């Protein structure tokens, strides 16, 4: 994959600390920790309660990740309860973390949380964001691999050097709905495509019916990024459904996202 620098060893990256946020219903935290560990970082699984009680602090980390799952059962709507905890209990901490240049990554449920907390598309807690995520058009949970095209004009630091991705997705509420007035100013990082790169592929290539086939967005700084597919589930080539038929360098498409984040965070 273009942009991957395999000459950078893990010893050079161990200072980068990654907070992987957990709550009831989180279920992709260990996979995300593995991905960052493979990229040379030092990941820690931290429960939201530890941050609220002051036992942990965002200021101790360079990267914060909200991984996939079904936080609090998605009982109100996907990611809404955890989003409220971030917005109402940790607003000042988040604001400071962002202002000091920290990176934030939201994967699947993390995308839902960041949008509903007002972190994305930004600025933090902007009541005029006019974006949300809703139930898939199919009316059911969609679990399938998807083709993605990376916007070369995006500011996103996580996707630098990447042109295309093939990643697994698994969600019931992944439809990105954007007010038409916001669409032109939104930094769309990823779009669903078919295997030929067609950006208007229709179902099932777009598994949820997202506006403009949006699969991932970032803020104006490029440091806060969220996507519905799961890069942490394709770190090694052997995780590809046809891995025995392919000749590659041993890494899966998702790995570069984590490596890019760690390399960027080394500057902080």
Domain count within the chain: 1
Residue 67's pLDDT is: 98
Structural domain includes residue 1: no
Structural domain includes residue 4: no
Residue 125's pLDDT is: 65
Q: Is-contact 120 219, C-beta < 8 A?
A: yes
Residue 248's pLDDT is: 67
HSE (side-chain half, CA atoms, 13 Å) at 48:
22
Q: Is-contact 240 234, C-beta < 8 A?
A: yes
Residue 169 belongs to domain with CATH number? 3.40.50.880
Structural domain includes residue 3: no
Structural domain includes residue 57: yes
| Full domain range(s) for residue 86 | 10-265
Structural domain includes residue 2: no
Assigned token pair, 177: 């709905």
Q: Is-contact 215 205, C-beta < 8 A?
A: no
Structural domain includes residue 111: yes
Residue 200 neighbours by CB under 8 Å, 6+ apart: 213
Question: Phi and psi of 209, rounded to 5°?
Answer: 90, 20
Residue 124's pLDDT is: 77
Residue 172's pLDDT is: 96
Assigned token pair, 123: 């600025």
Residues of the chain with pLDDT below 50 are 1-13
Q: Active-site positions?
A: 108, 230, 232
Of the candidates 63, 66, 52, the residue with the CA atom closest to the CA atom of residue 115: 66
Residue 243's pLDDT is: 76
Structural domain includes residue 119: yes
pTM (global) more than 0.75: yes
Structural domain includes residue 81: yes
């Amino acid at each position: 994959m273009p942009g991957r620098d395999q000459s950078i060893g893990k010893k050079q990256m161990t200072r980068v600390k990654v907070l992987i946020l957990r709550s009831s219903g989180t279920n992709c935290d260990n996979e995300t920790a593995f991905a960052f560990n493979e990229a040379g970082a030092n990941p820690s699984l931290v429960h939201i309660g530890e941050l609220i009680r002051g036992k942990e602090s965002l200021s101790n980390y360079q990267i914060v990740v909200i991984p996939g799952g079904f936080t609090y059962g998605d009982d109100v709507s996907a990611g809404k309860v955890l989003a409220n905890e971030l917005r109402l209990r940790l607003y000042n901490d988040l604001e400071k973390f962002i202002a000091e240049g920290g990176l934030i990554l939201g994967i699947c449920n993390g995308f839902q949380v960041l949008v509903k907390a007002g972190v994305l598309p930004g600025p933090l807690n902007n009541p005029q964001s006019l974006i949300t995520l809703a139930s898939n058009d199919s009316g059911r949970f969609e679990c399938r691999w998807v083709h993605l095209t990376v916007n070369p004009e995006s500011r996103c630091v996580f996707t630098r050097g990447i042109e295309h991705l093939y990643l697994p997705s698994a969600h019931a509420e992944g439809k990105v709905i954007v007010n038409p007035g916001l669409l032109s100013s939104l930094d769309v990082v990823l779009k669903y495509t078919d295997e030929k790169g067609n950006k208007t592929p229709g179902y099932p290539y777009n598994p949820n019916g997202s506006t403009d086939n949006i699969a991932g967005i970032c803020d104006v700084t490029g440091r806060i990024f969220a996507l519905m597919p799961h890069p942490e589930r394709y770190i090694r080539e052997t995780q590809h459904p046809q891995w025995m038929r392919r000749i590659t360098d041993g890494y899966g498409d998702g790995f570069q996202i984590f490596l890019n984040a760690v390399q960027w965070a080394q500057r902080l």
